[in-house]
Amino acid sequence: MLDMNWVRSHAEEVQRISNQKGIRLDVNELLLLDDQRRKVLHEVERLRKNRNNLSDEIGTAVYEKRIEEAAVLKEQARANNTRLSHLENDLAELQRHFLQMSLLIPNTVSPDTPIGGSDADNVVLRTEGELPVFDFAARDHVELGRIHGIIDIPRGVKAAGSRNYYLRGAGVLLHRAVQQLALDMLIDRGFVPLEVPLLATTEAMTNTGFFPLGQDQSYHLDEEDKWLVGTSEVPLVTYYSGEIVDLTSPIRLAASSICFRSEVGSAGKDVSGLYRVHQFSKVEQIVLCANDPVQSEALLQEITRNAEDLLQMLELPYRVMAVCTGDMSQKTYKQFDIETWMPSRKAYGETHSSSNLLDFQARRSNIRYRDPNDGTLKFCHSLNNTAVATPRILIPLLENHQREDGSIHIPHALRKYMNGLELLVPQATY
């Protein structure tokens, strides 16, 4: 959410960014609605003041037995209150409509964000690692999972429908190992780990910028009016909502949690394997810092570096992308995606995302701090990054490290979480 005074003075810019991000918002209509809302609010406040004054005057007239004057005043009060009641109803409707529209206002975008309409217009910033060259017919992760007995998609579909799966044996160990590796790395780098709720209120989803535009991607529990979170970013940021925080140094939080996404709009897309599933686990890093673009830019680079370091520990080739306007969410100011090489796709596939939101999210969530220079309250900047998401990361992990006999090399960094296992040997038992 942006300050409305800023929106008013930058209406053309806000409209341009809305168009670039594919958000259907008429900024001029919003401003006209705001003018009307303010006008009605001013009149409502005037009538409320009149009501109070008339009440006092009626009381005095009755006390002093000025009966005729009291009757006139009572008639004026009835007329005033009738008009006030109508205008309060009008104001409530205007406020509701204004809130709906204002929640569509996009964050600004950084000057170095590429302009584009989709992920096809994202820009490669750097490429790291050597792509594997196989002198044999390489298997995809589904086949590797089958011959190792570690991935069972048919039974996942039987249990829960499409885009579901079971992990077994060493598959579970790998799944948990990459999460623990990521969490240990973040703890070593000053992040505080939290175990977070997997349910969130509509208010929490809205305050963190996932609603209203992302509502169709979330699962709703109708009876409780709660939502299954698609990322621990929601509970991590909400942890400090409505609070004044100490930002003597940036707040760094991390969580490893199960996540759920409905994948609405992806019918027929990435239907095979583990790339796009309804349930997954993710290690998320969140940072809150001072309202300082220089500091938040440095932290964006830091959390992106954390994800890159993890991929290097996993011995995987990847590239870092500058995300264009048309591929960014409403709340994002600047974003990097990291794409890891997936041999079965003969392409890089997105595995990580880093975003700087400036104070957009903190305004919605009302997270503030005191400026050490003048003591004024300011909204924080917030940032987020996927340190690792699994089972998607298992795709490049299995495929890049496979050998001709079907065995799979275990990266050195994971072995301590795999009971010292150095190699997975095919042993399907299902």
Task: Give the CATH number of the domain where residue 10 resides.
Answer: 1.10.287.40
Size of the chain, expressed as the number of residues it contains: 430
The answer to the question of residue 429 being in a domain is no
- Domain final residue, candidates 38, 69, 102: 102
Per the residue annotation, which of 139, 163, 252, 261 is the catalytic one?
261
Q: Are residues 70 and 135 in the same domain?
A: no
Specify whether the CB–CB gap between 307 and 387 falls below 8 A. Answer: yes
Query: Is 415 an active-site residue?
Result: no
Contacting residues for 60 by C-beta, under 8 A, at least 6 apart: none
| pLDDT averages per 10-residue partition of the chain, 430 residues | 90 97 97 97 97 95 92 95 97 96 97 97 98 97 96 95 95 97 98 98 97 95 94 98 98 98 73 91 98 98 98 98 98 98 97 98 98 96 97 98 97 96 84
Here the tokens at position 59 are 């009381």
Q: Are residues 209 and 60 in the same domain?
A: no
Burial degree of 102 (CB within 10 A; 0-12, 13-18, 19+): middle
Give CA–CA dist 417/394, Å, rounded.
15
Give CA–CA dist 400/394, Å, rounded.
10
Q: Are residues 58 and 201 in the same domain?
A: no
Residue among 174, 386, 184, 167 at smallest CA distance from 279: 167
Query: Is 43 an active-site residue?
Result: no
Query: Is 261 an active-site residue?
Result: yes
Give CA–CA dist 211/152, Å, rounded.
34
- Domain final residue, candidates 44, 71, 102: 102
Q: Are residues 10 and 74 in the same domain?
A: yes
Query: Is 276 an active-site residue?
Result: yes
Domain span at 220: 119-424
Per the residue annotation, which of 256, 281, 329, 353 is the catalytic one?
353
Per the residue annotation, which of 37, 146, 364, 392 is the catalytic one?
392
Whether the predicted model's global pTM rises above the 0.85 cut: yes
Task: Please report the pLDDT score of residue 265 as a whole number.
Answer: 65
Q: Are residues 95 and 216 in the same domain?
A: no
Query: Is 146 an active-site residue?
Result: no
Task: Please report the pLDDT score of residue 428 as a whole number.
Answer: 62
Give CA–CA dist 100/97, Å, rounded.
5
Task: Please report the pLDDT score of residue 132 as a whole number.
Answer: 97
The answer to the question of residue 38 being in a domain is yes
The answer to the question of residue 112 being in a domain is no
Q: How many domains does the chain have?
A: 2
Per the residue annotation, which of 233, 308, 339, 350 is the catalytic one?
350
- The alpha helices in 335-411, defined as continuous H runs, are 360-365, 394-400
Per the residue annotation, which of 16, 51, 83, 276 is the catalytic one?
276
Residue 299, domain CATH: 3.30.930.10
Give CA–CA dist 256/169, Å, rounded.
20
CA geometry: angle 45, 48, 49, nearest 5 deg: 90
The answer to the question of residue 111 being in a domain is no
Q: Are residues 138 and 64 in the same domain?
A: no
